[in-house]
Amino acid sequence: MQADIVILAAGQGSRMKSKLPKVLHPLAGRALVQHVIDQANTIEGAKMHVVVGHGAEQVESALANQGAAFYLQAEQLGTGHAVAQAVPGLDAQGVTLILYGDVPLTPADLMQSMVQIAKRGHLALLTVELADPTGYGRIERNAVNDVIGIVEHKDANESQLAITEVNTGILALPTALMMEWLPKLSSNNAQGEYYLTDLIAMAAEAGIAINTLNPNSEFEVQGVNNRRQLAELERWYQRQQAGLLMDAGVTLADPARIDVRGKITTGTDCSFDINLILEGEVEIGSNVSIGPNCVIKNAQIGDGVEILANSHIEGAIIAAKATVGPYARLRPGTQLAESTKVGNFVEIKKARVGTGSKVNHLSYIGDAELGSDVNVGAGTITCNYDGVNKSLTEIGDGAFIGSNSSLVAPVKVGAKATVGAGSTITREVADEELAVARAKQRNIDAWVRPTKKV
């Protein structure tokens, strides 16, 4: 049975005070609506439908590769009206799950449970108990505790306002029933809108079973209406991610000062210091130590690696027992073999560094292949770019590159060769050769230093 997922993402979000559509504001590095889609995509065979309105072109562009169908809600006439825009694309023999682009953290297992309830011909409604339900639609139940309807806050009387079980707006139901009921919605209410919540009373009147489900936390169903709420939700999400890391065997110096913005896997007995940012897909082995103020994005880090303070690593593969930093930058394409050392103020890009090799200080290594046990002195540069093309520098096993050397690619330095400090190497250096390429020193006697004229 087809499961259609309808995501309402047409709202302006005026309280965000932003030109960016609300659903595109980021939480943990991904757009709010992207979180919703990622969770909904775990439902087998689900088809995605997104209702857009304010900033429609931006939203459609941001989600262009998600395989979703888009429907324009030109006028904002309520949630019922919004869902109606997607009806032409739905399978009447299937079920529909209705989600919201600004409610990003609803768990996939809850969504799956709701779809299964709808497939049994029932209506699934996600509700939550709130200490302060102000602004939310209240869940009305009869004497035997069956749900009989939802009353919006602006339409509620005093006794209804005392109800603390509220509607999240998230529901699932057989699509045929929804198609039958949507045209019957009325805008005769305090807001002059077509409320999707009126379907609940219609289902109760028709004798359709209404099953309610509840989240583990109210944050799982919290929407974002302003930047304060976005920040609160970000912090809650990060606390959950920190907890998962600690459960996996990671020691965090301060669980409140780590940001996870992607998919992270770790081994055991790792130690992460403060202000660590993990982005994209990051694989971290066991016994890894990461110092303060590091950023790691789309990287693989082997067992026993030590990353010192203020290092930035992106698109790199670091093998076991390597040491990186402090203040090192590894750019995409970097591969460090076992027991390598990359020190302070070293930048490496699209280069392979062999086992036991060291680049300890103030150097740039780009488009290069270094063998094992290479020692690169401070201030070394591989001159890989001629203004048009990138060229390769090759350094053999056991080579020694003296400080302040420039290796002008394409160039090869052989195994156990030595490059004298301050050299500019433009030709191949054979195995075990010494290359010295620097201007002859000239000392001038009786030289007078210039002085300022008064």
**In the block, residue with structure tokens 């969504």:** 111
Give 226-252 pLDDT, tens digit per residue: 999 999 999 999 999 999 999 999 999
Q: For residue 369, give every residue at least 6 positions away whose Cβ sits within 8 Å of its Cβ, in sequence order, or none.
A: 351, 352, 392, 393, 394, 395
Q: 169 φ, ψ to 5°?
A: 90, -15
Identify the pLDDT of residue 454: 78
**What are the C-alpha distances in Å from 91 to residues 32, 87, 185, 197, 416?**
26, 8, 21, 21, 70
**What are the C-alpha distances in Å from 41 to residues 10, 49, 72, 243, 447?**
20, 12, 22, 25, 77
Which residue among the candidates 81, 153, 312, 361 is catalytic per the annotation? 361
Average pLDDT in the 351-378 region?
Answer: 98
Give 52-74 pLDDT, tens digit per residue: 999 999 999 999 999 999 999 99
Q: Return the closest-CA partner of residue 318 out of 331, 299, 296.
A: 299
Three-state SS at 407: strand
Give 333-347 pLDDT, tens digit per residue: 999 999 999 999 999
Q: 315 φ, ψ to 5°?
A: 65, 30
- 49 as an active site residue: the answer is no
C-alpha to C-alpha distance for 118 and 50, rounded to whole angstroms: 20
**C-alpha angle with apex 221: 278 to 191, nearest 5 degrees?**
130
Residue 270: pLDDT above 90? yes
Domain 3-221: CATH superfamily is: Spore Coat Polysaccharide Biosynthesis Protein SpsA; Chain A (3.90.550.10)
C-alpha to C-alpha distance for 333 and 313, rounded to whole angstroms: 11
Q: Where in the chain is the domain with CATH 2.160.10.10?
A: 227-435
Q: Where in the chain is the domain with CATH 3.90.550.10?
A: 3-221
Residue 381 · residue 422 · CB < 8 Å: no
| Entry pTM | 0.91
Q: For residue 159, give every residue at least 6 positions away whose Cβ sits within 8 Å of its Cβ, in sequence order, or none.
A: none
Domain range 227-435, CATH architecture: 3 Solenoid (2.160)
Mean pLDDT of the chain: 96
Three-state SS at 158: helix
Three-state SS at 202: helix
Query: What is 115-127 written as a DSSP string?
Result: HHHHHTT-EEEEE
Q: Which of these ranges, 145-159, 282-296, 394-408, has the smallest mean pLDDT?
A: 145-159
Average pLDDT in the 413-424 region?
Answer: 98
